[in-house]
């Protein structure tokens, strides 16, 4: 009798690649045992996603860390071709020099998406990251971010997410303005930050933290805004000026479709001298969500009325009181 046909080995290359991209990196590597034609097929994957599930669980934290470092290093050493996406999400990794080495390797392999979600300690981003000029997405969590003087920005970056990052305020503003194609921006867990945002192509903005003042200097394409503002003590923590914050923050976003505000956002918008009428009509605004609005504060109520009366096509309104 003849041998049964080996359908797995004879699958077209496009189907093999499609299968591998749907597997975790650990399972993708295991496909090497299927046949000689599958051996090291995984090594050409352009998207690499790592977490603790890549290695066997263990009660000893150091064992998990050691195994994870070996696994990631081994994958990178055997990898062939460009790496478009590298994502690392871990609460175990303490060997920060290894991350430096991995980033140096990635900076030479055309990395386009970089996600580092580190749970403990502060990791100082190495200078080689700022040579990754093909980056289109950057997400950092629990890192220290201090670009070298020669760094002028990521010219191709479209998505920037910084969560609990140690960075100077002027560096954030310079980074944003140095990314002319930026469409998505998320900043969370920042303390006492005064921020001016200039991003002509920005469409989605998410802010969460203790912002003392926010100025949307040049954001004409914004379609969605979500803001959570916190304070240590009282509203005096906000920057006080004669400019009406409602106009200063929302006066230059004519394409706005969705506005969501949490905690003290409405209070922040109510500060300043009310001009009597907004200089803009939000013809695209369909959803307004304002949470913890104080109905005992006439200025906050006026902010709500201003927004509603200047949004002729509003479809959904959600308001909660403190």
Name, in order, each residue with C-beta under 8 angstroms of 121's C-beta and a sequence gap of 6 or more: 94, 96, 142
pLDDT of residue 66: 86
Whether the CB-CB separation of 305 and 277 falls below 8 Å is answered with no
Orientation angle between helical segments 96-107 and 61-78, nearest 10 degrees:
20
DSSP symbols for 11-37: S-HHHHHHHHHTS-HHHHHHGGGS-TT
Give the end-to-end CA distance of the chain in Å, rounded to a whole number. Answer: 79
pLDDT of residue 288: 98
Whether the CB-CB separation of 253 and 222 falls below 8 Å is answered with yes
DSSP H helices, 108-241, are 169-177
**Measured between alpha carbons, how far is residue 291 from residues 79, 108, 218, 222, 294 in Å?**
48, 46, 26, 21, 9
Q: How far is Cα 168 from Cα 289, in angstroms, rounded to an integer? A: 31
Closest CA to 140 of 149, 130, 151, 155: 130
pLDDT of residue 27: 75
DSSP symbols for 98-123: HHHHHHHHHHTTT--EEEEEE-SS-E
Give me the residues paired with residue 51 across strands.
89
pLDDT of residue 1: 44
pLDDT of residue 155: 94
Under DSSP, the state recorded for 126 is: P
What is the pTM (predicted TM-score) of this model?
0.88
pLDDT of residue 169: 84
Q: How far is Cα 37 from Cα 309, in angstroms, rounded to an integer? A: 66
Query: Which tokens go with 278?
Result: 């907004």
Sequential pLDDT tens for the chain (322 residues):
445 555 666 666 667 667 766 777 777 777 766 666 666 777 888 899 998 888 877 777 788 888 889 999 999 998 888 999 999 998 877 667 889 999 999 998 889 999 999 876 668 899 999 999 999 999 999 888 889 988 999 999 999 999 988 888 889 999 999 999 999 999 998 887 888 999 999 999 999 988 888 899 999 999 999 999 886 555 555 656 668 899 989 999 999 999 999 989 999 999 988 877 788 999 999 999 999 999 999 999 999 999 999 999 999 999 998 7
């Amino acid at each position: 009798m003849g041998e049964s046909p080996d359908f797995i080995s004879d699958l077209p290359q496009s189907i093999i690649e499609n299968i591998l991209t749907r597997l975790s990196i650990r399972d993708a590597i295991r496909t090497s045992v299927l046949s000689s034609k599958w051996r090291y097929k995984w090594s050409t994957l352009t998207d690499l996603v790592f977490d603790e599930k890549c290695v066997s669980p263990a009660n000893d934290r150091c064992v998990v860390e050691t195994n994870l470092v070996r696994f990631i290093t081994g994958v990178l050493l055997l990898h062939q071709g460009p790496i478009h996406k590298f994502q690392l999400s871990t609460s175990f990794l303490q060997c920060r020099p290894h991350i430096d080495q991995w980033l140096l390797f990635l900076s030479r392999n055309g990395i386009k998406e970089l996600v580092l979600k580190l749970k403990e300690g502060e990791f100082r981003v190495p200078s080689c990251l700022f040579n990754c000029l093909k980056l289109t997405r950057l997400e950092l969590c629990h890192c220290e971010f201090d670009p070298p003087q020669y760094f002028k920005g990521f010219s191709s970056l479209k998505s920037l997410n910084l969560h609990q990052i140690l960075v100077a305020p002027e560096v954030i503003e310079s980074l944003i303005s140095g990314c002319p194609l930026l469409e998505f921006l998320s900043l969370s867990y920042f303390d006492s930050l005064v921020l001016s945002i200039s991003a002509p192509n920005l469409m989605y903005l998410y802010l969460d933290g203790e912002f003392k003042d926010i100025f949307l200097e040049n954001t004409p394409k914004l379609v969605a805004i979500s803001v959570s503002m916190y304070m240590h003590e009282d509203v005096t923590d906000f920057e006080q000026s004669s400019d009406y914050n409602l106009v200063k923050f929302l006066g230059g976003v004519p394409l706005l479709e969705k506005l969501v505000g949490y905690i003290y956002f409405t209070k922040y918008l109510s500060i300043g001298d009310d001009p009597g009428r907004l200089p803009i009509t939000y013809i695209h605004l369909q959803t307004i969500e304002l949470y913890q609005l104080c109905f005992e504060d006439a200025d906050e109520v006026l902010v709500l009325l201003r927004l509603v009366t200047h949004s002729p096509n509003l479809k959904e309104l959600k308001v909660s009181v403190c």
